Amino acid sequence: MITANVTAYLCMEQLPELKSVTRKGITTPRKQPRYDLVAFAGYWGALDKLKNYKGQLYFNLIPTDKNEYRKQDGTTPEYYLQCTPAKSKSINFSGIRFQYENGKETAFASGEPSINEKLKGGIINPMYNQRNDAFLFIFSNNMERLEIVIIENGRTLIDAYRKQLAIGGMDEVLNSLQRQAKMAKVL
């Protein structure tokens, strides 16, 4: 079994008070789910660079098929997690590629940060120094909760780590991270 060097764990949730948005006095449901950081364990250098002006960290889940400019082939992830760091436009935290079992999507997915020093529009990549790291994503069945496990230098083996996670090979590590996680200041 491959041992992953886990550096951080994030627990994100769709908060009930943020499931809708009010514009010009009209409240409507969000078009894309928003996941706010509620607990974390460990350290990952790029996280502070991804926070907004209020010091919040949240991601919007964007389906790939909503963007007609993205290529639609076998390497295209099903979703993207986007964030809006302070002093920046929205950037992709990661694409999300799900684990499939018997032709069905499971709750387990993986992704990685961009390897480009500059992103679309000339934005400096806040995760460039961590470009060889990788992410494991665990979605709850109702997609209300998202857990992210960050693996240092895991980029080349991320598919193996995702499969290992799916068969329970990382349960002990995940349980330990969940126990260590501290509540994050939300809102």
- Does residue 24 sit within a domain? no
Q: Is residue 115 part of a domain?
A: yes
- Could you read off the pLDDT of 112-142 as tens digits, one per residue? 999 999 988 888 999 999 999 999 999 998 8
The count of domains in the chain is 1
What residue has token string 């000339």? 122
pTM beyond 0.85, yes or no: yes
Rounded to whole angstroms, the Cα distance separating 35 from 18 reads 9
Within a domain: 36:
yes
Q: What's the pLDDT score for residue 25?
A: 84
Beta bridge mates, 59: 35
**Distance, CA of 130 to CA of 123 (rounded, Å):** 16
State which residues form the domain around 118: 6-18+29-183
Residue 11 neighbours by CB under 8 Å, 6+ apart: 37, 38, 39, 40, 145, 146, 147, 178, 181
* Residue 122 is assigned to a structural domain of this protein: yes
Asked if residue 1 belongs to a domain, the reply is no
Q: Does any domain span residue 120? A: yes
Whether residue 95 is contained in a domain is answered as: yes
Between CA 115 and CA 181 the distance in angstroms is 28
Is 23 part of a structural domain of the chain? no
Question: What does the alpha-carbon distance between residue 21 and residue 130 come to, in Å, rounded to a whole number?
Answer: 33
What tokens does 116 get? 């480009």
Nearest to 109 by CA among 71, 184, 54, 59: 59
Looking at residue 61, its pLDDT comes to: 92
